[in-house]
Amino acid sequence: MSATPVSTSASTSTRKKVTTLTYRHKKERGEIITMLTAYDYPTALAMDKAGIDSILVGDSLGMVVLGYENTLPVTMEEMLHHCRAVSRGAKTALLIGDMPFMSYQVSVEEATRNAGRFLQHGGMDAIKLEGGRERADAIRSIVSAGIPVMGHLGLTPQSVNQLGGFRAQGKTAVAAKRLIEDALILEGAGCFSIVLEAVPERLAELIAKKISIPTIGIGAGVGCDGQVLVTHDLLGLFERFTPKFVKKYANFHDEMQKAFSDFIEDVESKRFPAQEHIVEMDDKEWEALLKEVNA
Ligand code: KIV
C-alpha cells in the first residue's frame, strides 16, 4: 500500500437503496434483476458503482476464495467476516448473506438465530438458504422475525452428496413437478425471491410465470426474472473449473499470474523500484546526517 495515494475515487452514486420492494416492483414491471456474488470490500464497491441491483455473499466463498473442495466446510464466522467487508463497500445494492451448511438445518430456532446474525453482525439486508418444502418451517420463522428470505432450488450445492455431484436438476417430469411445488411452497412460506440453479430453461420460465415473487436464474435460461453469476467465474478468477452456464467476461487469473511474474522479473533485475517510486531526502539533511554518523 503506497503512502501517497495516486488517486482517490469516492462513490458518486445517487441511486436509491435497493430493497425487497424494488425486487417486487421490477418483476411487476417486467424489468430484469441483476445479482452477483462478492466476498470483499473492493469488489462490492466496484459492483455498487456499476449499478448492480443485489449482491450475494454466497457460500461459494468456500470454493472460490477459501479453496475448499465444496461449500460444506464454510462456517457462520467465515460468512459474517466476509459479509461485513462487502457491507462496507456496497451502500446501494440489496445485500444478501448465504446461510452456510448446518446453520439452518438442525432446528427452526437455530435457523432463526443464525439468520438474525447476518443482519445484526454482518450488515446484510436479507438471507438466502437452500432447499424446498423441508425448509418451509424455518423460512416462516425467519420471515416472522422480520428477516427477508431468498430461497434456492434446483442444484443446491450444500446437498452435493445427496445429488450425486454438481448436476442439473428437474430434468424429468416428476422432478420438474416437485420443483414447481417447492417454488409455490417457498412463496407461500414468505420468500421474497428464489434462486433457480441449473434447471431446464422452459421449466424455469414456467416457474417464473407461476409464482409472483422474482426468480433469479443461474444456469436456468432467460425466462427468469433476474440473473446471477459467481463473480470469480465471470472474471475468470476461479481456475479449477468453469460451469457450462458461465459467461466469462475476463481472464483475471491469467492477468494476475502475468502481473506477479512481471513484478518478480522487475525486482530481480532491479527495474523496480524506479526513480518515481522512491522518497527523496534534502541534500542539506543528508549532509548533516553523514556528519553525525561519520563523526
Ligand atoms: O453461493 C453462491 O454463490 C450461490 C449462487 C450460485 C447463487 O448460491
Ligand 1, atom 2, residue with closest C-alpha = 58
**Distance from the CA of 107 to the center of ligand 1, in angstroms?**
23
Closest atom of ligand 1 relative to the 58 alpha carbon:
1
Neighbour tally for 211: CB within 10 Å = 20
Ligand 1, atom 6, residue with closest C-alpha = 230
Ligand 1, atom 3, residue with closest C-alpha = 58
Residue 96 · residue 128 · CB < 8 Å: yes
**Distance from the CA of 69 to the center of ligand 1, in angstroms?**
15
Closest atom of ligand 1 relative to the 37 alpha carbon:
3
Ligand 1, atom 4, residue with closest C-alpha = 58
* Helix/strand/coil percentages in the chain, nearest 5: 45, 15, 40
pTM of the model: 0.93
One-letter amino acid of 213? I
The pLDDT score that the predictor gives to residue 13 is 53
Q: What phi-psi label fits residue 10: left (phi over 0), alpha (psi between -120 and 50 degrees) or beta?
A: beta
Residue 81 to residues 7, 21, 41, 119, 235, Cα–Cα distance (Å): 28, 27, 11, 12, 22
CA distance 174 to 245: 24
Reported in sequence order, the residue ranges of the chain that DSSP labels E, i.e. its strands, are 33-37, 54-57, 94-98, 126-128, 149-154, 193-197, 215-218, 226-229
CA distance 226 to 189: 21
Q: Residues 120, 66, 87, CA angle at the centre, nearest 5°?
A: 30
Question: Is the omega angle on the peptide bond into residue 273 within 30 degrees of 0, that is, cis?
Answer: yes
DSSP 134: G
Instruction: Map out the domains of the chain with their CATH numbers.
Output: 20-250 (3.20.20.60), 255-294 (no CATH)
Q: Residues 190, 192, 193, CA angle at the centre, nearest 5°?
A: 120
**Distance from the CA of 79 to the center of ligand 1, in angstroms?**
13
| Residue 221: burial class (beta carbons within 10 Å; 0-12, 13-18, 19+) | middle
Closest atom of ligand 1 relative to the 98 alpha carbon:
1
Residues marked active site are found at: 197
Ligand 1, atom 8, residue with closest C-alpha = 58
Residue written as cell 416437485? 178
Mean pLDDT by 10 residues, the chain (295 residues): 42 80 98 98 98 98 97 98 98 98 98 98 98 98 98 97 94 98 98 98 98 98 98 96 94 98 98 97 98 93
For a substitution probing ligand 1, which of 60, 83, 195 has the most ligand atoms within 8 Å of its CB? 60
DSSP string, 211-241: -SSPEEEESS-TTSSEEEE-HHHHTT---S-
One-letter amino acid of 221? G
Residue 134 · residue 104 · CB < 8 Å: no
Q: Residues lining ligand 1, CB < 6 A?
A: 37, 56, 58-60, 98, 152, 195, 197, 218, 228, 230
Measure CA of the first residue to CA of the last residue in the chain; give whole Å.
Answer: 36
**Distance from the CA of 161 to the center of ligand 1, in angstroms?**
17
**Distance from the CA of 19 to the center of ligand 1, in angstroms?**
19
φ and ψ of 96, to 5 deg: -120, 125
